[in-house]
Amino acid sequence: MIQFILCFGGCGKPSDLPKLAPFQVTVTKNGQPAEKVIVTVHSDGLPSNYGCYGMTDSNGRIALVTHSQIGKRQKFSGAPVGDTKIGVRRDGSVGLEDPREATKGMSRDEAYAYAAERSKRQAENEKFVPLALTDPLISPIEFTVAENANNILTIELDDPQWDIKIDPKRLRKY
């Protein structure tokens, strides 16, 4: 005999996961899709053991996903409902690695080569993505994710409104 188990409304979702809604972001530069751009969402309603982010595809689009960061790693479609701040950075620009950890076990020459490559990637990112957009906590991009709506945001990286002077010391290290 075959048994079926039915789950209604949130089966398998953690109790501390806030309500999520579909959220699609498109990123362009010079009117063209911006591929491999990481979009990060900050929401005061999202517990610290979750992150909402993703990377644009070849069309410059992404459907954002909320990830659990601790314990059983899970992915949940959508972004937290409510007010959010959006950060944008280019994939591979700096990375999430801690330079001290990344250079452990490297020879001096390898560590210098690593540092030079990291600096080069960071400079390329700053040319591609305006510095003011890289950290969602200080980014001027805000969006209210509605529970039952078609949440769509387009970010044009060349928009002059992003040409804001930011003290790099205010930015978090990625």
Dump pLDDT digits (tens) for 15-55. Answer: 888 999 999 999 999 899 998 899 999 998 888 889 999 99
Structure tokens at 51: 């992150």
* Residues of the chain below pLDDT 50: 1-10, 93-96, 174
pLDDT for the residue 86: 95
* Phi and psi at residue 54, to the nearest 5°: 180, 175
pLDDT for the residue 5: 39
pLDDT for the residue 88: 92
pLDDT for the residue 169: 61
Model confidence, pTM: 0.71
pLDDT for the residue 81: 95
Structure tokens at 52: 């909402």
pLDDT for the residue 129: 83
Amino acid at 112: Y
CA distances in angstroms from 113 to 92, 102, 123, 124, listed in the order given = 16, 12, 15, 17
DSSP result, 94-148: S-S--HHHHTTT--HHHHHHHHHHHHHHHHHHHHHS-GGGS-TTT-S-EEEE-TT
CATH number of 20-91+131-167: 2.60.40.10
